[in-house]
Amino acid sequence: MSFCYINGFYKNNIDAQISVEDRGFNFSDGVYEVMGFRNGKLLNFDKHMYRLCKSLINLQISKPFSNPNSYKIIIYHLLKLNDVNDGFLYLQITRGTAKRNHLFPSNIKPNIVIFTFSKGSLDKIKRGVNVGLTKDQRWMRCDIKSISLLANVLDKQKGHERGFFEVWQIRKNLITEGTTSNAFIVNKKSHIYTHPKNNFILGGVTRDCVVEIALKNGLKVIEKAFNINDIKNCNEAFLTSTTLGIVPVTKIDNIIINKKAIGLITKTLMKKLEDFLNKQIHE
């Protein structure tokens, strides 16, 4: 039996109810975060809260709580109820419940849902994955972590059906990001390239950690979009997300990367990210 938090109550997942007039349900009018926890400790909590607040402000959705510690108290109670120490949580805030109308009322109360989930083993994935390429057909505010994910869902599914683990999206000949992750390559000079944080990508929390870790370890990071030609000439490639950490990319479309071996920089960053996350357990 799994518990979730819904609008002030802890309920069995199957007993939790939301109105048919929830604006998330009707209009995808909401935002979300996916956060990891290890040894019962939330990872990168402040970074996730910062992005959540930014998403809410951008969409003019009211904050359910003014103090980020309220989320912490709720989440830690939920982990206890579910008797889980390692895993992930999904936190969704929608604008609220109102008579269906594209215009939203000003005094609407947001709906908030939090539930926990676990992931299967990542062992196979961590040995390298293949990535497809597709046209980026999303809107111009990919920086908002909106629950409106239809373009991502359809392209991930299409990629999956073609045998790809992930799909990197292309806007104006430049790789923006994956459907559920950020995209990186390492060139022949060992410079790490990833798309700059702007309205064309979701500024991933893991992306930020990796950039920070790479810089701290004396690696050069260039936050500039790369193209297919750069991919053809790169030494290494990898992708990042909260649920996957760093995953080596060994094939992009029909381009084999580093003879399908995990590159040294990718390997180093994978290890350093694990250390960075594990350190938070004891903070």
Active site residues: 145
Asked if 268 touches ligand PDD (CB under 6 A), the answer is no
Asked if 155 touches ligand PDD (CB under 6 A), the answer is no
β-partners of residue 175 are 170
Asked if 169 touches ligand PDD (CB under 6 A), the answer is no
Q: Which is nearer to ligand PDD, 116 or 206 (CB)?
A: 206
Q: Which is nearer to ligand PDD, 98 or 177 (CB)?
A: 177
Instruction: Give the three-state DSSP class for 175.
Output: strand
Q: Which is nearer to ligand PDD, 82 or 241 (CB)?
A: 241
Region of 133 (left: φ > 0; alpha: ψ -120 to 50; beta: rest) is beta
Q: Percent helix, strand, coil in the chain (nearest 5)?
A: 30, 30, 40
Determine how β-strand 192-194 pairs with β-strand 182-186: antiparallel
- C-beta of 107: minimal distance to ligand PDD in Å? 30
Spatial separation of the C-alpha atoms in residues 187 and 207, rounded to whole Å: 18
How many residues touch ligand PDD under the rule CB under 6 A: the total is 15
- C-beta of 247: minimal distance to ligand PDD in Å? 11
Q: Which residue is nearest to ligand PDD (CB)?
A: 204
> x/- contact string, 24-43, with ligand PDD (CB under 6 A)?
----------x---------
Which one of residues 29, 166, 177, 236 is an interface residue with ligand PDD (CB under 6 A)? 177
β-partners of residue 193 are 185, 222
Burial track 32-45 (b if 16+ CB lie within 10 A, e otherwise): bbbbbbeeebbbbb
Using alpha carbons, list the distances in angstroms from residue 45 to 34, 72, 173, 209: 10, 8, 35, 12
Asked if 240 touches ligand PDD (CB under 6 A), the answer is yes
Asked if 148 touches ligand PDD (CB under 6 A), the answer is no
Backbone phi, then psi, for 150, in 5-degree steps? Answer: -60, -45
Which one of residues 49, 75, 185, 205 is an interface residue with ligand PDD (CB under 6 A)? 205
Asked if 242 touches ligand PDD (CB under 6 A), the answer is yes
